[in-house]
Structure 1
Amino acid sequence: MRNIPQALTIAGSDSGGGAGIQADLKTFQMRGVFGTSAITAVTAQNTLGVSGIHLIPTEMITAQLDAVAADFHVSAFKIGMLGDADVIECVAQALQRHTLGRSVLDPVMIAKGGAPLLQQSAVEALKTLLLPLADVVTPNLPEAEALTGIKVSDDKSAQEAASALQACGAKTVVLKGGHLENSQSAVCRDWVFTPEGDFVLESPRIPTRHTHGTGCTFSACIAAELAKGHDVADAVRTAKAFISAAVADALEIGQGHGPTNHWAYYRQTGAI
């Protein structure tokens, strides 16, 4: 039997194809990983925004997770959009029943166009049920503030927010700095806090509106690298390079916040 790395994404479906399950599976494929999925919600959206959200019944989410776990050798998984506390609880229960490898939690709360993707009442459930299970958590700055109450504006506040998330049980925290307010810097800074040590990753700040699905793609790439057996620090570094290339080489699809280019990193490097 061929030793093909396999990963799982637990997330919502994006009918526009730029984020969610669709972005995750594209990323897995471009990193040489076979992707499986459990869909938590179906959204009606495009690059202009979200016009509808339908949460999948928890029994069906459980059935998807049980089916994947029964047949595939998943060595890493990522969690994206969950929607409400009932979905969070059902996913947490399934993860406690199954061994699915290392985990990446992308706390999806708000769509690129501003639509809420996680009910406020579910934030506490996310903190208590899923953060303790996360090998890596990848909030952007608004998400980090929603989870910790700490507004990240510099290295000191980033450390405080990361410490608060690690106190909830997350092992590695990646704070994505793309939303840093009033930034006139030519670089985009991410803070990475691991049990082995902390470091900062920087990339050129690219003036583009085509950033739909960046968070999904970034976290999916980390999960793909973990599925291949890489350590967390290397996985995060590869994901940073992958998403930087995806944003820099814009597809310019759609009339609003267009999707990132999932082919770009491979075309630039030839690496899988």
Structure 2
Amino acid sequence: MSSDATPRVLSIQSHVVHGYVGNKSAVFPLQVLGFEVDFINTVQFSTHTGYKHIKGNVLQNEQLDELIEGLVLNEVDYYTHFLTGYSRSPDSLKKIAEIIKKLRQKNPKLLYVCDPVMGDNGEMYVPEEILPVYRDVVVPLADILTPNQFEAELITGIKVKDIGGALKAIEALHAKGVKTVVLSSTDLGDDNSMIALASSAGSCYQIQIKKLDATFTGTGDLFAALFLAWWHKTNNDLKLTLEKTISTLQHIVQDTYQRARTIHPTGKIPRALIELRLVQNKTIIEDPKINITAAQVQC
């Protein structure tokens, strides 16, 4: 083990040259919050895939193996945390499972935060063959899981129509071995807000998130990174971690939205104007003011 007490994260996610998704959305906040972050980019694209033209390349599994082997050979493969997001194929996801097992040989206490990115709003944007690998191989290895409602439904087979259904899905994820489950967003709110739910060690909380008339990309990646950081910094305080995470995220999203609206006052905002303003909100990331509180619910 490294004698330095600084927490060390290995983050394996996508990378974009322009904008903030994947590692571009996760690494900076983690560093600002005092974490050493090593990161492997599963893809290097010009922009995220919501843009019209996508250029770039994909890291092959043998290249990923080579990078991990280099870390192991140089004995710099000790990590306190492991973070994953979007995976493009079942094979790449199976590779992730192998890497977790390898890292846990070096540090059995390694905390794995998994954002099982598969889709949203009833639509999958990864190959369907990825689902059984998440469900049967990767999810049981995770300590913290941060799916949205649709992803939780896919993994558990439970339809979420109300808070009770959401808690059933969360319980089913706990039954797979996940200690802490966070539904990062659900459709259970109203026209003005959506609800996130979190559950750990027999405690459950819900929190309301204000809706904006724009779609942001990279918020799920940012959510998982912030949750990882605050879970560590609050010594596993679920309520406080949820509040710090959501308050940070909401501030960044609202700031991004307001700036976009000053430039583009009406109609649909162009994608380039709603890239998350992370750098401009560095002080908020470091010390978020809690303006949204979580309420306890019966698990």
How would you bin the TM-score normalised by the shorter chain? 0.7 to 0.9
**Structure 1 residue 92 corresponds to structure 2 residue 101:** no
**Structure 1 residue 135 corresponds to structure 2 residue 143:** yes
For residue 194 of structure 2, the aligned residue among 188, 199, 219 is: 188
Normalised to the residue count of structure 2, the TM-score between the two structures is 0.77
Query: For residues 108-157 of structure 1, what are the alpha-carbon distances to aligned partners after superposition, in whole Å with 9 as ceiling and x for unaligned?
Result: 12389x782x2110110111111111111111112122222223232111
Structure 1 partner of 2:270 = 255
For 1:237, the aligned partner's letter is E
Shift of 1:40: 2.2
Aligned residues: 267
Shift of 1:67: 3.9
Q: Give, in whole Å, the separation in 1 of the partners of 2:157 and 2:27.
A: 32
**Structure 1 residue 61 corresponds to structure 2 residue 64:** yes
Distance 1:109 1:214, change over 3 A: same
Query: For residues 232-255 of structure 1, what are the alpha-carbon distances to aligned partners after superposition, in whole Å with 9 as ceiling and x for unaligned?
Result: 614333222221211121153982
Q: Secondary structure at the match of 2:47?
A: strand
Query: For residues 210-246 of structure 1, what are the alpha-carbon distances to aligned partners after superposition, in whole Å with 9 as ceiling and x for unaligned?
Result: 5210000000112223455731614333222221211
**Structure 1 residue 202 corresponds to structure 2 residue 213:** no
Distance 1:88 1:194, change over 3 A: same
Q: For 1:1-80, list aligned pairs within 5 A.
A: 3-46=5-48, 48=51, 51=54, 54-68=57-71, 70-71=75-76, 73-80=78-85
Structure 2 partner of 1:170 = 178
Root-mean-square deviation (CA, aligned residues, Å) is 3.0
For 1:240, the aligned partner's letter is I
Shift of 1:52: 5.8
**Structure 1 residue 237 corresponds to structure 2 residue 243:** yes
Structure 1 partner of 2:295 = none
- Asked if the contact 2:86–2:117 (Cα under 8 Å) also holds between the matched residues in 1, the reply is yes
Q: Secondary structure at the match of 1:71?
A: coil
Distance 1:8 1:224, change over 3 A: farther
Shift of 1:190: 0.6
For 2:82, the aligned partner's letter is F
Distance 1:56 1:150, change over 3 A: same
Say which structure, 1 or 2, has more relative contact order (CA 8 Å, 6+ apart).
Answer: 1
- Asked if the contact 2:156–2:172 (Cα under 8 Å) also holds between the matched residues in 1, the reply is yes
Q: Secondary structure at the match of 1:198?
A: strand
Distance 1:231 1:182, change over 3 A: closer
